[in-house]
Amino acid sequence: MTKQHRFDGFHTAFLAAAMTFSPGIVSAVPVDATLDYTCVFPIIEEQSMQVAITSDMPERLAPGEASGVFNIDAVATVSADAWNGLHFVGSKTLSGKVNAASVISAPGLTLPLVIPMQIPSKALPDSQEAFSVSASGQTPSLSFTTANTGEVDIVVGDLVMQLQPLDGNTNPTGLGFFESECSLDSGQTGLLHTIIVDEETSQDAVFPFIGQATINQHSDLPLSGTLVLAVEPGSTDIAGDMVFDSARLIVKVISFFNTLTLEADVAFHPQGEADGSISDDSLTLRQSTEVQLQNARLKMFGLPISSSGVGQCKSQSPVMLNLSTPGDGNFSLNGGGPLEGQFELPPFTDCGLLTSAINQLISGMDNHMNITLTGEL
């Protein structure tokens, strides 16, 4: 039985026994491994080849939680001697595919897997030198049971490359469509990543954010703070805490020959948790918050004419922020992303002599918020 046939059998068995395609939101971290192989080529026989593998994979999974597919990228460094053999038969480009053998090892589970990968057409160097070839592929989604609780190792093994060299007229060379088997050199574990499977019920994703709110088209309020989301494994529902830093509001209105300026420190006091939902590339978020103005002053031509006194000077009712990923944006638990939305700023109360002026200048529906989350688990 050839390696190719063995790989196909492993692939079928693995899919039947361990793969699911259920939806779920799982955070991932970058993983990589650089491995050395010995490959057998036509004409030139054995040659060394180094392969750098990269992907994004979860650090933890709960039993029954689907990991989502893994995108696998690999860059192989091919020797100058291999170039010489290809050049000898008139090769100008190289393309094909790779079947990469892997093993998933967990408590109570040892399953082989083959990852099919495509090699796009690569122009060969004009002179004898080592060169790189890229390949990419995708795994199905993984899911484990409580019997597999513990460490799950993803180990990369041997490769089978099916290569198609073409000449300058895009015709096959004398080598035709050939197969090259690559064995992992001894002394390497081949370990790409370890996933922890446990009963943990949620993960906290921490996102610092910056942005601004446009208030009544008069002023841009700079925003910063932190959003902490609790993400339930396998669920699209989220909950968390949204904390805003204090910000400085300056609203300037020019009317005829008068310049009127309202200045105040803005404090946000969230009312309960934030909630919402998350999908593969978008986030919707709702947060109720009281808005308080501190140290408010009204100036004309830069000179103070009134202050808010000692009152609380706060919104009569909480502000409801409804934020979501814009249509041209993208959200991930690793990198965050942009959020935006409209909101109404209700009238303010207990602002002393400035109550009426504040409500005329900033209260209303025509307000827009946009922030950018940057995060890591």
For residues 15 and 201, the model is more confident at 201
Residue whose C-alpha is closest to residue 376's, from 93, 30, 91, 68: 30
pLDDT tier, 2 (very low <50, low <70, confident <90, very high otherwise): very low
Tell me the C-alpha distance between 62 and 198, whole Å. 5
Residue whose C-alpha is closest to residue 21's, from 72, 66, 70, 71: 66
Domain boundaries, the chain: 3-197, 203-373
Q: What mean pLDDT comes out for the span 259-283?
A: 89
Phi, psi of 26 (to 5 degrees): -130, 130
Contact 228, 241 (CB under 8 A): yes
Q: What mean pLDDT comes out for the span 210-238?
A: 86
Task: Quote the pLDDT of residue 176.
Answer: 85
Contact 195, 60 (CB under 8 A): yes
Phi, psi of 8 (to 5 degrees): -60, -40
Which 3 state secondary structure label does DSSP give 12? helix
pLDDT tier, 353 (very low <50, low <70, confident <90, very high otherwise): confident
The predicted-structure confidence for 221-232, as pLDDT tens digits, reads as follows 999 999 998 876
Sorted by sequence, the CB contacts under 8 Å of residue 8 that are 6+ apart come out as: 114
Q: What is the pairing mode between strands 191-197 and 60-61?
A: parallel
Task: Quote the pLDDT of residue 202.
Answer: 58
Q: Which of 4-8, 17-21, 153-157 has the highest mean pLDDT?
A: 153-157
Tell me the C-alpha distance between 57 and 224, whole Å. 30
The predicted-structure confidence for 35-63, as pLDDT tens digits, reads as follows 999 999 887 788 999 999 999 998 888 88
Task: Quote the pLDDT of residue 223.
Answer: 95
Average per-residue pLDDT in the chain?
A: 85
Residue whose C-alpha is closest to residue 64's, from 232, 203, 205, 276: 232
Residue 21 structure tokens: 């395609």
Q: Rounded to 5, what percent of the chain is helix, strand, coil?
A: 10, 60, 30
Tell me the C-alpha distance between 295 and 157, whole Å. 66
Residue 74 pLDDT greater than 80, yes or no? yes
- Domain 3-197 fold is Immunoglobulin-like (2.60.40)
Least confident of 15-24, 31-40, 229-238: 15-24
The predicted-structure confidence for 247-259, as pLDDT tens digits, reads as follows 998 887 766 556 7
Residue 264 pLDDT greater than 70, yes or no? yes
For residues 105 and 5, the model is more confident at 105
Residue whose C-alpha is closest to residue 323's, from 280, 279, 276: 276
3-state secondary structure 204-257: EEEEEEEEEEEECCCEEEEEEEEEEEEECCCCCEEEEEEEECCEEEEEEEEECC
**Cα–Cα distances in Å, from 95 out to 49, 55, 71, 90?**
16, 22, 20, 15
This prediction's pTM: 0.54
pLDDT tier, 289 (very low <50, low <70, confident <90, very high otherwise): very high
The predicted-structure confidence for 110-166, as pLDDT tens digits, reads as follows 999 999 999 999 999 999 999 999 999 998 888 899 999 999 999 999 999 999 999
Q: Is the dihedral of CA 301, 305, 311, 315 positive or negative?
A: negative
Tell me the C-alpha distance between 286 and 83, whole Å. 58
> Could you tell me the end-to-end alpha-carbon distance of the chain, in angstroms, rounded to an integer?
46
